[in-house]
A and B are shown apart, each in its own frame.
Chain A
Amino acid sequence: MWEYTDKVRDHFFNPHNVGEIENPDGIGEVGSLACGDALRLTFKLDKDGRIKDARFKTFGCASAIATSSVLTELIKGKTLDEAAKVTNKDIADYLGGLPEQKMHCSVMGREALEAAIENYRSGGTRKHQLEGKVVCTCFGVTEKEIERVIRENDLTTVEDVTNYCKAGGGCGGCRGEIEKIIEKIQSDKIKEAPTAEPRRAGKLTNIQKIQLIKETINEQIRPALRAHGGNIELIDVEGDKVIVAFRGMCAQCKLAEFTMKDVVEAKLREFVSRDLFVEEDKESAQQPHNHLE
């Protein structure tokens, strides 16, 4: 059960400004049925260019409905320039906070507002569209959007980013990339601090090394391969030679060599030791275990 504040509950059970304005000056639509929440925001301006009326329709959970309701309250009476300054944090704060995993609802509100303003400024022609590189393909989240939620909310972990904009919450294949974006932004913030060396262990015993290789494969490599229908098994470690076998789609993948060199070796060198190199266990590669359709 979620711990919602009384304000969230109130705006959910008695939402303000539900509906759709006929012939609106601006309309913003974000989200989709597949994503689990969606918001359509419409507004009308008065003769001084202030938002006279704002209405919403939302598909989503209680906090999605409550944040939409608050959004319309917050922007009424504002000029578009003033409204554009409303952040997801303003929306969440107005509600007395949201559960961490629900912060993406407040971000959806802010996105819908931006889309509606953009729609107005383009004379009603432009609809919200993804800008720039899409990092999370499950939820269609762009690099730009991820950077923005990290900056505006001072996020430091992939989990935070998922809570705020859903990126990384599907197959998990983009979690490595999100981590890099966080690193980039957080290290931009403290320019004078030394650039982040990848965390690599010092001198390792054989047992520690094998343990660390296993951990790296489990945490860094397997999730990415699984997302593409593959899998990896650690067969053996001989000195700096790491012997692995690929399963599932990876076993028959034409790019197997590329995947192995590019992903596995790079990750192991990053997290365990620079001296490691990877070899594929040919014997087991000939018996593909295709466990996915």
Chain B
Amino acid sequence: MKTIYFDNNATTKVDERVLEEMRPLFCELYGNPSSMHTFGGQIGRRIGQARERVAALLGCEPNEIIFTSGGTESDNTAIVGALAAVPNRRKVITTRVEHPAVLAVCRELESHGYTVIELNVDKQGRLNMAELEEQLDDDTALVTIMYANNETGVIFPIEKIAELVTGRGITFHTDAVQAVGKIPLNLKSSSIDMLSISGHKLHGPKGVGVLFVRKGTRLSPFMLGGHQEAGKRAGTENVPGIVGLGKACELALTSIDQENKKVKYLRDKLEKAILKKCPDCRLNGDKENRLPNTTNISFEYIEGEAILLMLDQYGICASSGSACTSGSLEPSHVLRAMGVPFTAAHGSIRFSLSRYNTEEEVDYAIEKIPPIINRLRELSPFVAK
């Protein structure tokens, strides 16, 4: 059975060209870039090239790029490192819909005496800028707000937020794991101080990420024990990962516009068809300001895990914000923050596409999904005959 992969916000396929670039770094060019010999030392140039490629995609300077082990480490480093740099400030502002890599860190900070403000979102998942502005004060050490939401694809007005926050002398970090490679960025003309990326969300390898740190931003290192990354992130570099991520960024830069036209077209086609063919469905999240690849649809009166298993029978891969899929008993914190009723949250499915998806795949899914929904509704005690 063919796999139809509509779960690209979870992870993506590594581009073949990325893999080719990585391949020699395992058995041939396996040296340590910190070594004195040429064999190891030459690897440093590969890392330098990767750094330039990442910087080109982000529109920043290469020396503003720190390679990490992934999005989670980048987020942890940014938050903990920024707070350590301003020990006299004790307040952090974030949102209720952040990825756990940010939210869990912030909640942990509460037990160390920090005041953590979690900003609300409206029914469309949008922030209220006035609420943010009200919270900014002299005690605020850091504001960390995601660029685009992983569950709904909703994009926050990050440039405006960054301007507002940094204008008050407060450090601003954004988790841009879902945004980079999908929407164009230019950090040169932006006020963002720090930005997190993950390699495997943009057709690069797993286990590698980036933290962009604007020159002049105060940050204490999170990982200690080596001079790598200009002393900002200790540990022998994940050379194949870094090189792969560099290539993935280069590919993203050359294809971002065209790919997004295609991906957006496929997403829209899938979304429209589902909403039209299945009764009692609702779209979650701001329809306008949204990633081009993501759609989050709630099927009322049925449960997400059951839908996913039925989709799986046809090789269709997606995700759900239902309680049952995570092992927790409550549905997605993002949908709850948006005030999506429980009736809809338990039956929410996220489809996230990529440039590798085809129109045939979308047509196949459009054909298979409505009967699955009907079948489960026949089992549901909440649906009248």
Contacts and interface: CB of A to CB of B under 8 A. Distances in A.
B381 interface: yes
Interface string A34-70: 1011111000000000000000011111101100000
A162 B329 contact: yes
B306 A12 contact: yes
Contact of B303 (A9, A60, A139): A60
A246 B309 CA distance: 46
Contact of B329 (A29, A57, A166): A166
Contacts of B330: 36, 138, 169-170
Interface in A1-57: 2, 9, 12-13, 15, 18, 29, 33-34, 36-40, 57
Contacts of B323: 36
Contacts of A65: 306, 379
A33 B322 contact: no
B309 A247 contact: no
Contact of A34 (B113, B301, B328, B342): B342
Contacts of A12: 306, 309
Interface string B314-331: 000000001111011111
Nearest to B110: A231
Contacts of B118: 291
A36 B111 contact: no
Nearest to B117: A291
B329 A61 contact: no
Nearest to A41: B381
A247 B116 CA distance: 11
A38 B382 contact: yes
Name A's interface SS.
Answer: mixed
Contacts of B382: 33, 38, 59
Interface residues of A, number: 40
A139 B379 contact: no
A36 B381 contact: no
Contacts of B329: 36, 139, 162, 166, 169-170
Contacts of B117: 291
A218 interface: yes
B190 interface: no
Contacts, number: 87
Interface in B107-127: 110-111, 113, 115-118, 120
B302 interface: yes
Interface in B335-385: 342-343, 346, 378-382
A291 B382 CA distance: 37
A112 to B, nearest CB: 10
Nearest to B331: A36
A36 B379 contact: no
A59 B313 contact: no
Contacts of A289: 115
A250 to B, nearest CB: 13
Contacts of A231: 110
B115 A61 contact: no
A36 B115 contact: no
A170 B331 CA distance: 10
B331 to A, nearest CB: 7
B111 A60 contact: no
B250 interface: no
A90 interface: no
A261 interface: no
Given A33-B343, A166-B329, A233-B113, A61 B379 contact: no
A128 interface: no
B99 to A, nearest CB: 20
A59 B301 CA distance: 7
Contacts of B346: 33, 36
From A15, A59, A139, A291, residue with most partner B Cβ within 10 Å:
A59
A269 interface: no
A293 interface: yes
Interface in A56-90: 57-62, 64-65
B305 interface: yes
A36 B324 contact: yes
Nearest to A2: B305
B116 A293 contact: no
Interface in B266-307: 301-306
A291 B115 contact: yes
A157 B88 CA distance: 41
A57 B328 contact: no
A58 B381 contact: yes
A231 B110 CA distance: 8
Contacts of A217: 111
Contacts of B379: 15, 18, 57-59, 65
A141 B378 CA distance: 28
A162 B342 CA distance: 20
Contacts of B313: 13
Contacts of A291: 115-118
Contacts of B306: 12, 60-62, 64-65
A220 interface: no
A72 B120 CA distance: 45
14 contacts: A33-B342, A36-B329, A36-B330, A36-B331, A57-B379, A60-B303, A61-B304, A61-B322, A64-B303, A65-B379, A166-B329, A222-B111, A233-B113, A293-B120
Given A13-B310, A169-B329, 15 more contacts: A12-B309, A15-B379, A33-B346, A36-B330, A37-B303, A57-B379, A61-B303, A61-B305, A61-B306, A62-B306, A162-B329, A170-B329, A222-B111, A247-B115, A293-B120
Going nearest first, the 9 A-B pairs with the smallest beta carbon separation are A169-B329, A61-B324, A61-B305, A57-B381, A40-B381, A34-B342, A289-B115, A36-B323, A33-B343
